[in-house]
Chains A and B, each alone.
Chain A
Amino acid sequence: MIKRSIFAELLKLRHSRIGLVLAILPSISLMIGCANFYLNQGVLENGWYSLWNQVCLFYGEFFLPILIAICCSYVCRLEHLNRNWSMILTSPVSVASIFLAKLLVVSILMLFTQAFFLGLYWLAGTLFALPGHFPVETIGWSIRGWYATLSISALQLAISLRIRSFATPIGICLCAVFIGLGMYTANLGIFFPYSLLTIGMSVLNQDQLTATQNISFWVTNLSFIIIIASIAIRRLKNKDIVSC
């Protein structure tokens, strides 16, 4: 059932041109980061790592969370139109599989975005002729970042399922990004999904996480995904849907 739900979700995205958005936004954030790196090369002496720091500052802190919010709003948009909720909830598909299919589709989109961003980073580093080899750690940071996007996706999906407006969840995400930044600087980042992305992608601090920090990162993120998904599915099961 879940497989068919995923195919249905992918089918709905077929002519959406969401790929265009997923390609443009990381490219622009990378360009801003590269421009900043180029203009401050005298101060940024750590080669590949300094470049990572600059490009991730804009991408990981602001672009990616908002990109997730846009994707989540988009995958819920069709359901909010033309009484489609009534149609979907009366179809022989469980509510859990509808939510999980949406979450999986968003996570696939994010995986592509991360891979694309990493490719662009490699290209930028090569064009800058940075000394040394491509840092393999960045692949791990990208995967960890992708894992952190899952909890944000679950939360944004829950919000987008609840709020019929396309734009409001994106605004909420913007506010959450700033709250997350505040929590990260207060060393409470592990307790907030939006700060987990900063930790996961090593945006502001490239020191290696200790074993305990690493375990707590993976466990907390998983807990967030499970808790948020359970609440959203439960709500979808028990509450009346407003459709028009």
Chain B
Amino acid sequence: MIKTLGLEYYKIRRKKIWTMITLFLGVEMLWAFMSITRSIAKNPDHAVWESIIFNISSMNGLFMSIISAIVVSRICDMEHKGATWKMLIATNVRRGNLYAAKYICANSLLLFGILTQAVMMMVFGMMKGFPGTPPIEIQLQFIMGNLLTTLAVTALQQWISLAIKNQTFALCLGMLGGFIGMTAGLFPAGARHIFIWAYYLDLSPVTFHYTESTSLYVTQSLGTGIILLALAMTVLFYIAGSIHVSRQEI
């Protein structure tokens, strides 16, 4: 298994996926930082750590969904393009292991992106002089929530990317997911929980409350139910994808 995983990293060594993730997330962070700076200029009460965590979480609904689709598509499409899937399954490795190696590889790359986000948020907060020390506990919750959602999204994307050769459909799904993630705040909670992309906001440790005269950021503890739901979706998408792709005729 370790060898299979190592080979996945070996295959993508010149694909510059790390650089691509950093650049895409860089644009997201730049946009978020600009919007927070403007928000602070209008309302100095927004100069708190919670503001940045909430803004990044809501933007992740769009960006992480599409970046996940791109990363997974690139890792899977190389097998379609080079017609190497046939060759891989002819080796003495179980298809399930190949599937798992790709899944771990994609998620490790995205975890790098999530950790980069966390570091950039801390740097921005310190540069802006947000009060108090960086909230490590909230940051860890942000990383966990983000990762949990990404695990489910990549499981779904990998299924589509490997099952359908034409990557247009995988990318379209990623795009639709991105828009669901972006507009998640508009849906009622019941409808929102059906779509995994909305979990970037639902599993965020910070939420935004509007009252008639003011608006404020509020920290929230993550419910066990929603975490279990996200985990269940991950397992469901992963197992369904693995079984389908392993039994598919090539």
At the interface, yes or no: A219 with Cβ under 8 Å from chain B? Answer: no
**A28 in contact with B77 (CB, 8 Å):** no
C-beta contact mask, B71-82 vs A, less than 8 Å → 1, else 0? 101100100011
**Interchain CB contact (< 8 A) of A21 among B34, B77, B172:** B172
At the interface, yes or no: B70 with Cβ under 8 Å from chain A? Answer: yes
At the interface, yes or no: A76 with Cβ under 8 Å from chain B? Answer: no
**Interchain CB contact (< 8 A) of A182 among B28, B31, B62:** B31
Across-interface contacts of A18 in B (CB, < 8 A): 168
Given A166-B73, A167-B167, A168-B74: A80 touches B81 (CB 8 Å cut-off)? yes
**B179 in contact with A32 (CB, 8 Å):** yes
Number of interface residues of B (CB under 8 A): 33
Q: Interface with A: B19-27, B86-94, B106-114, B118-126, which one? A: B19-27
Q: Interface with B: A91-99, A110-118, A130-138, A172-180, which one? A: A172-180
Across-interface contacts of A74 in B (CB, < 8 A): 168
Most chain B C-beta atoms within 10 Å of own C-beta, residue among A18, A32, A36: A32
Q: Which residue of B lies closest to A58 (CB)?
A: B179
Number of interface residues of A (CB under 8 A): 34
Cα separation A17 to B171 with both chains bound (whole Å):
14
**A170 in contact with B171 (CB, 8 Å):** yes
A-facing residues in B47-98 (Cβ within 8 Å): 62-63, 66-67, 69-71, 73-74, 77, 81-82
Across-interface contacts of A170 in B (CB, < 8 A): 66, 70, 171, 175
Across-interface contacts of A226 in B (CB, < 8 A): none
At the interface, yes or no: A244 with Cβ under 8 Å from chain B? Answer: yes
**A167 in contact with B179 (CB, 8 Å):** no
Across-interface contacts of B250 in A (CB, < 8 A): none
* Minimum CB–CB distance for B176 against chain A, Å: 6
Across-interface contacts of A21 in B (CB, < 8 A): 168-169, 172
**Interchain CB contact (< 8 A) of A179 among B15, B27, B168, B171:** B27
Cα separation A103 to B247 with both chains bound (whole Å):
39
At the interface, yes or no: A63 with Cβ under 8 Å from chain B? Answer: yes
At the interface, yes or no: B186 with Cβ under 8 Å from chain A? Answer: yes
Q: Which residue of A lies closest to B26 (CB)?
A: A175
Given A74-B168, A166-B73, A166-B77: A36 touches B66 (CB 8 Å cut-off)? no
* Minimum CB–CB distance for B134 against chain A, Å: 26
At the interface, yes or no: A16 with Cβ under 8 Å from chain B? Answer: yes
Across-interface contacts of B31 in A (CB, < 8 A): 178, 182
Cα separation A81 to B172 with both chains bound (whole Å):
21
At the interface, yes or no: B183 with Cβ under 8 Å from chain A? Answer: yes
Across-interface contacts of B166 in A (CB, < 8 A): 16-17
At the interface, yes or no: A25 with Cβ under 8 Å from chain B? Answer: yes
Cα separation A74 to B165 with both chains bound (whole Å):
12
**Interchain CB contact (< 8 A) of A168 among B20, B27, B168:** B20
**B82 in contact with A165 (CB, 8 Å):** no
**B70 in contact with A167 (CB, 8 Å):** yes
Across-interface contacts of B69 in A (CB, < 8 A): 167
At the interface, yes or no: A66 with Cβ under 8 Å from chain B? Answer: yes
**B176 in contact with A28 (CB, 8 Å):** yes
Q: Which residue of B lies closest to A176 (CB)?
A: B27
**B167 in contact with A66 (CB, 8 Å):** no
Q: Which residue of A lies closest to B72 (CB)?
A: A167
At the interface, yes or no: A140 with Cβ under 8 Å from chain B? Answer: no
**A25 in contact with B172 (CB, 8 Å):** yes
Across-interface contacts of A63 in B (CB, < 8 A): 175, 179
* Minimum CB–CB distance for B28 against chain A, Å: 8
List, sorted by A's number, 15 A–B pairs whose CB atoms are closer than 8 Å.
A16-B166, A25-B175, A29-B179, A32-B179, A62-B62, A66-B175, A165-B74, A168-B74, A170-B70, A171-B24, A171-B70, A174-B178, A175-B24, A175-B27, A178-B31
Q: B residues engaging A (CB < 8 A)?
A: 15, 20, 23-24, 27-28, 31, 34, 62-63, 66-67, 69-71, 73-74, 77, 81-82, 166-169, 171-172, 175-176, 178-179, 182-183, 186
Q: Which 7 A-B pairs have CB atoms at the shortest separation, nearest pair first? A: A167-B70, A175-B27, A167-B73, A166-B167, A171-B70, A178-B31, A171-B24
